[in-house]
Amino acid sequence: MKIEKLEAIRGFVAIYIVFHHIVSFYGLYNQNKALKLIFMHPQEAVMIFFLLSGFVIYVSTVNNKEITFYKYIKKRFVRIYPITVAAFLISTLIFFINGYDFTTVDAKNLIGNFLMMQDDKAQPGLIVPTYLDNFPLWSLSYEWWFYVMFFPLFVYFHKRIPANNIPHIYPILGISLIGWLLFLIWPNHAFLVITYFLLWWTGVACAEIYLKHQSFQLKTLMPVLLSISTMSLAIAIPVLKGYFVKHETLAQINAAYPISTYLHYYLDTLMFIIIGLIWWRFKLVGFNLFLRGFKVLAPISFAIYIIHFPFIWLNLPFIHNFYFLNLIKLILIIATAYLLEVKMQPLANKLFHNKIKPQKQELETQAF
């Protein structure tokens, strides 16, 4: 698999999420069933981001013999934080333009978001919500802690547990199962991050398989499929108990405790692996026709993902045409993302002495 295909997928998913949020923000899916069918799949998009991120981080780390935790986390920090702080500033400016009255709660949320403790408001064990309702930031907190957890486990596995003896994904399954059990006992954001860690590590496992075999087959992917299936069954237990024992509807179960949402994430990942394997066997037929063109957005995909929602919030009362309004917002999103990624990010790399070769920057550091 060429990295350019991963870049094309990343670019596609980034712009897909933008259109999803536009459709959702204006409630267009209530008016058009076709729009709902096409654009109302944000969970699947986030799962693709997680899988791509795990894959790329492993590929960029496994052959780097000189890397230390300090160098690794510094590179992650320099890649994530400058654009994230810019997103905070953009949100603050846009809400100021919109006439929003800031409070001390907003300041608290800003600090919590800077420390990567944010999550969706509906999550049990919430510490802070996303700053000024920039909803995509919820996944960034997971992404950051996945990075932090990855490196010590990566080093330990490669020194102590050869992958040809025990697939590395099995210990990660155990960690996520423990996280899920603890989350059921004490709903907490940290335990939820651990519960989701297996999703992200699935990308790592796929990268291990590809680098070893230069291909994907059912046999080599079996540990991945077994791990995801096992975690899905564990998460399904409370759902099945509520449905069959308490005779609750799935809507009641999800409203009281969004376990069915967590199950959905794992089932999505299982579906992606199976579909991806089938597509691989058919030599990725149709990929270039439908997805290759989105590669142009890959270099700015992270910024698009992080900064697009504040622009959707932006009030432009002097523009009355819906299509023209959102065209202007889309232009602002892409232009701002370009400035952040292409102009500002190299300056941040230079400032922090983050020596990354330009042609390899996406492979080595891109989170999304």
Q: Which residue has the higher pLDDT, 251 or 119?
A: 119
328 is a domain residue: no
Residue found by looking up tokens 């993902």 in the block: 305
The residues, ordered by sequence, that sit 6+ positions from 180 with a Cβ below 8 Å of its Cβ are 191, 194, 195, 231, 234, 235
In the predicted structure, residue 363 carries a pLDDT above the cut 60:
no
The residues, ordered by sequence, that sit 6+ positions from 190 with a Cβ below 8 Å of its Cβ are none
In the predicted structure, residue 360 carries a pLDDT above the cut 60:
no
Give which of 94, 90, 92, 140 is closest to 113, Cα–Cα. Answer: 140
Q: Which residue has the higher pLDDT, 302 or 245?
A: 302
313 is a domain residue: no
DSSP 128: E
Q: Are 338 and 272 in contact (CB under 8 A)?
A: no
- DSSP of 43-70, one letter per residue? HHHHHHHHHHHHHHHHHHHHT-TT--HH
Residue found by looking up tokens 């651990």 in the block: 194
* Positive/negative CA dihedral, 297, 300, 305, 309: negative
Give which of 2, 15, 47, 8 is closest to 269, Cα–Cα. Answer: 47
Token digits for 287? 């990929």
Token digits for 16? 């897909």
Q: What is the pLDDT of residue 234?
A: 92
pTM: 0.91
227 is a domain residue: yes
Across 33-42, 212-221, 228-237, least confident range:
33-42
Give which of 314, 312, 284 is closest to 2, Cα–Cα. Answer: 284
Q: Both ends of the chain: CA-CA distance in Å?
A: 18
Bridge partners, residue 119, by sequence? 129
Query: Quick count: other Cβ atoms within 10 Å of Cβ 188?
Result: 17
- Structure confidence by residue, pLDDT tens digits, 86-100: 999 999 999 999 999
Token digits for 103? 């409070």
Look over the chain and give the mean of its residue pLDDT values, rounded to a whole number. Answer: 90
Q: Are 233 and 82 in contact (CB under 8 A)?
A: no
360 is a domain residue: yes
257 is a domain residue: yes
23 is a domain residue: no
In the predicted structure, residue 358 carries a pLDDT above the cut 60:
no
- Structure confidence by residue, pLDDT tens digits, 334-357: 999 999 999 999 999 999 875 544
Q: What angle do CA 146, 216, 39 make, to 5 degrees?
A: 60
In the predicted structure, residue 161 carries a pLDDT above the cut 80:
no
37 is a domain residue: no
Residue 45 to residue 43: CA distance in whole angstroms: 5
In the predicted structure, residue 44 carries a pLDDT above the cut 80:
yes
**C-alpha gyration radius of the chain:** 21
Q: Which amino acid is at 131?
A: Y
Name the residue range of residue 117's domain: 43-282+336-365
| Residue 366 binned pLDDT confidence (cut-offs 50, 70, 90) | low
Q: Are 259 and 226 in contact (CB under 8 A)?
A: no
Q: Are 1 and 210 in contact (CB under 8 A)?
A: yes
Q: Are 189 and 117 in contact (CB under 8 A)?
A: yes
Q: What is the pLDDT of residue 257?
A: 59
Residue 308 to residue 112: CA distance in whole angstroms: 20
Domain count, the chain: 1
- List, in sequence order, the alpha helices (H) in 127-249: 137-160, 169-185, 189-213, 218-240
Residue 193 to residue 175: CA distance in whole angstroms: 11
Cα 285 to the center of its chain, rounded Å: 26
78 is a domain residue: yes
| Residue 264 binned pLDDT confidence (cut-offs 50, 70, 90) | confident
- In this prediction, residues 205-234 reach a mean pLDDT of 95
Token digits for 342? 């292409």
